[in-house]
Amino acid sequence: MSDYYASEDLKKFGDIGKHGKQLADDFFKYYGDVTGADGALTKREKALIALAVAHAQKCPYCIDAYTTQCLETGANPEQMMEAVHVAAVMLAGITLVHSVQMQNHLEKMVL
Amino acid sequence: MKSALQLKPVRPRSKYDFDALLRERGIAIAPANVDTLQVNITKTCNQVCRHCHVDASPSRTEKMSPEDIAKCLEILERHPQIAKLDITGGAPELHPGFDGFVERAVALGKHVMVRHNLTVQLDGHPQTKESKEYLPQFFARHRVEVISSLPYYQQFFTDSQRGAGVFAKSVEAMRRLNAMGYGVEGSGLALNLVYNPVGPYLPAAQAGLEADYKRELKAKHGLVFNSLYTITNMPINRFRLHLEKSGQYEAYLDKLLAAFNPAAAEGVMCRSLVSVGHDGRVYDCDFNQMLEMDAVDAKGRRLSIHDFDFDRVLSRPIQFDAHCLGCTAGAGSSCGGATA
């Protein structure tokens, strides 16, 4: 199992079009349009969001790629760490808010 | 036995062959003019920055002779079209002839720029212990343009690249320059900062980063400056060694190659300046100088300040190698910042 998540594999991302070129081309165009330029959000803000998502989804490729992208858009370590904390508290909050469901059901189950 | 047929040596081709890349893209880069004489007068420096392409340090002793400084001044005097003198190092202020060089170039009516690392004001000369606290007054008196490296507006990146304590000293040095009017609107005294990435990545967009620097340095330290120049790290000397040791050299070259920008290639600084080494040899830029890639004229003869001929310099073929990808990546890079 040691060959999962080799950093060299990130370079092969483009190969996802090998068996479905049009869909891959569509995806990469969409990807480039969203992340490649300043829009309503700056490239730096988008990179920080992507870094947070990369952590929430635990994607090592994305963590490497968006750590670099944050640096290349002028972000600093405090901003990057704060973005990861946003991901962390969202995951914690999402877990905890489900306890309302648990309490609702608990009330039905307890006399 | 020596062959009668002298074959011109051909550099092995690689995917980072810059000449081949230009040919493939149909781009010709030739000198447009020579408006700047950039002179590297010493490799001595009070700092040991981790990305330094000069490999400068307190233990380096190379310095330009008084005769060669006089020769540079003579070239400046003879050529009104060379309007600017860009003095670099090392820390150029550590050269014993620095003050005189500035004074005489200013007297010739030249625009003088000094690549001033800020901390030398407080550190002084690492070998002679001579104080350099007079520099802000000296710069202001001669209305020198000051260009200073500050790789970020915070301590972490700055000290990581330039050494422990450098950020705090740089802030104090900037405060002293501001007190003389440097960077202050309307003073006419220019203080420009230089951003270098603190590793193998490309600089952020220059305008946005400049706005961040201005806001943060003003808010946190009460400091002002004029412009920020973003400069890409060159994969040579000390930085190359770091890249090789950390297994990132090829990945960095791949990044530069992938980011090749023809518009940046049009604006490279070797089209408008020549670089002079401490021994009087002439180069297309400070990076070629550190790689000892001499500038040559159209007939392949080395150029030097000792037989400086403007037409030979202007008609020279610029010498390229893989490191030139650093100047043409993304928004481009030069001693004056982004080029595209």
Confidence of residue B315 (pLDDT cuts 50, 70, 90): very high
Lookup: tokens for A36: 């490649």
Task: Name which of A73, A77, A78 is nearest B204 (Cβ-Cβ).
Answer: A73
**ipTM value for the complex:** 0.84
Percent of chain B past pLDDT 70, that is, above it, reads 96
User: Measuring CA to CA, which residue among B322, B325, B249 is closest to residue B291?
Assistant: B322
Distance from CA of A78 to the nearest CA of B (A): 10
- Whether the predicted pLDDT of B245 surpasses 90: yes
Residue A63: HSE in the Cβ half-sphere, 13 Å Cα cutoff:
11
Hey, of A7, A76, A81, A82, which one would you mutate to test binding to chain B, going by the most B CBs within 10 A of its CB? A76
Question: Is the Cβ–Cβ distance between B259 and B16 less than 8 Å?
Answer: no
User: Coil, helix or strand for B248?
Assistant: coil
Residues A44-67 pLDDT 10s: 999 999 999 999 999 999 999 999
- Whether the predicted pLDDT of B7 surpasses 60: no
What is the predicted pLDDT for the residue at A50? 98
How far the first Cα of chain A sits from its last, in Å, is 50
Q: Could you state, in order of their start, the residue ranges of all structural domains in chain A? A: 20-109
- Whether the predicted pLDDT of B11 surpasses 90: no
What is the predicted pLDDT for the residue at B14? 87
Lookup: tokens for B196: 């270098």
Confidence of residue B3 (pLDDT cuts 50, 70, 90): very low
* CB-CB neighbors (< 8 A) of A78 in chain B: 154
Distance from CA of A92 to the nearest CA of B (A): 30
Confidence of residue A7 (pLDDT cuts 50, 70, 90): confident
Question: Is the Cβ–Cβ distance between B221 and B173 less than 8 Å?
Answer: no
Burial class (CB in 10 A: 0-12, 13-18, 19+), B208: middle
8 Å CB contact of B156 and A74: no
B149 backbone φψ class: left, alpha, beta (φ>0; ψ -120 to 50): beta
Lookup: tokens for B233: 């790290």
**pTM: predicted TM-score of the whole model, two decimal places:** 0.91
Paired strand residues for B38 = B86, B275
**Mean confidence (pLDDT) of chain B:** 95
Closest residue in chain A to residue B198, using alpha carbons only: A71
Confidence of residue B143 (pLDDT cuts 50, 70, 90): very high
Closest residue in chain A to residue B211, using alpha carbons only: A74
Question: Is the Cβ–Cβ distance between B262 and B213 less than 8 Å?
Answer: no
* CB-CB neighbors (< 8 A) of A77 in chain B: 156
DSSP B93: G
Taking the domain A20-109, which CATH number applies?
Answer: 1.20.1290.10
- Whether the predicted pLDDT of B244 surpasses 70: yes
Residue ranges of alpha helices (H) inside chain A are 21-35, 43-56, 60-72, 77-109
What is the predicted pLDDT for the residue at A2? 64
Topology of the domain comprising B31-233+265-319: TIM Barrel (3.20.20)
Percent of chain A past pLDDT 90, that is, above it, reads 89
Residues B145-155 pLDDT 10s: 999 999 999 99
Hey, of B161, B195, B202, B206, which one would you mutate to test binding to chain A, going by the most A CBs within 10 A of its CB? B202
Hey, of B155, B167, B212, which one would you mutate to test binding to chain A, going by the most A CBs within 10 A of its CB? B212
Rounded distance between C-alpha atoms, residue B183 and residue B43, angstroms: 27
Residues A76-93 pLDDT 10s: 999 999 999 999 999 999
Residues B287-312 pLDDT 10s: 999 999 999 999 999 999 999 999 99
User: Measuring CA to CA, which residue among A12, A27, A26, A86 is closest to residue A54?
Assistant: A86
**Mean confidence (pLDDT) of chain A:** 95
* CB-CB neighbors (< 8 A) of B167 in chain A: none
What is the predicted pLDDT for the residue at B2? 43
